[in-house]
Structures are given as structure tokens and as C-alpha cells.
């Protein structure tokens, strides 16, 4: 099976996760001097390894993404989950 096929088959389809990480969750990177903020855009599953989260930066999202194992996201030495920002929707 090709890498692309495995990737497409492994993309989360909206089912509840067993690891507690969901699309839209936000994290701050804690292992560096500069604490950047990231949002989970997608959960991907590969055979034989833990699920991974595809993260996009809150600032400069056009610069790309990074794919991190959910194990690393649960490690406070690397990332810390932050509360989701609630955005007001204008009634107009």
C-alpha cells in the first residue's frame, strides 16, 4: 500500500478519540525560550505507531504545519494544553 493511501486511510473521520486530543484543541510549546501556540488541525493514524496530531501555528498558519505524536502532546515538558478561545459571533 502506498504512503499516500495509508495517510488517507489513517485520517481521522470525526469519531471520538481514545487519547483525548481533538481537532481544535490548542497547545503552547513549552520546551523552548519562545512559547509558540499551536492548534490541532487533524488527527492521523498510522499502523504500528501511536496516533499523531497535525498542528498549525496560531500565528503565520500559512507557514505550514508539524505532525506530533499524541504522546508528545501529553508530555508537559513539550506541550501544554490551553483553554479554547470562545469567539463571539455577530448576529448581523
Give the Cα separation of 47 and 23 in Å (integer).
Answer: 20
Q: How confident is the model at residue 61 (pLDDT cuts 50, 70, 90)?
A: low
pLDDT at 69: 95
Q: How confident is the model at residue 19 (pLDDT cuts 50, 70, 90)?
A: confident
Q: Which residues contact 35 (CB under 8 A, 6 or more apart)?
A: 28, 29
pTM for this structure? 0.68
Average pLDDT, the chain: 78
Residue-wise pLDDT tens digits, 23-53: 999 999 988 777 789 999 999 998 999 999 9
Q: Which residues contact 69 (CB under 8 A, 6 or more apart)?
A: 49, 50, 51, 52, 53
Determine the 3-state secondary structure of 46 from DSSP: coil
Strand-pair category, 66-69 with 52-57: antiparallel
For cell 481544535, name the residue.
Answer: 24
Amino acid at each position: 500500500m502506498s504512503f499516500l493511501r495509508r495517510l488517507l486511510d489513517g485520517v481521522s473521520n470525526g469519531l471520538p478519540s481514545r487519547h483525548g486530543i481533538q481537532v481544535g484543541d490548542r497547545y503552547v510549546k513549552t520546551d523552548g525560550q519562545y512559547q509558540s501556540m499551536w492548534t490541532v488541525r487533524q488527527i492521523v493514524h498510522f499502523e504500528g505507531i501511536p496516533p499523531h496530531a497535525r498542528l498549525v501555528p496560531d500565528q503565520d498558519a500559512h507557514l505550514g504545519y508539524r505532525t506530533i505524536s499524541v504522546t508528545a502532546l501529553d508530555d508537559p515538558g513539550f506541550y501544554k494544553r490551553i483553554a479554547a478561545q470562545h469567539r463571539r459571533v455577530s448576529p448581523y
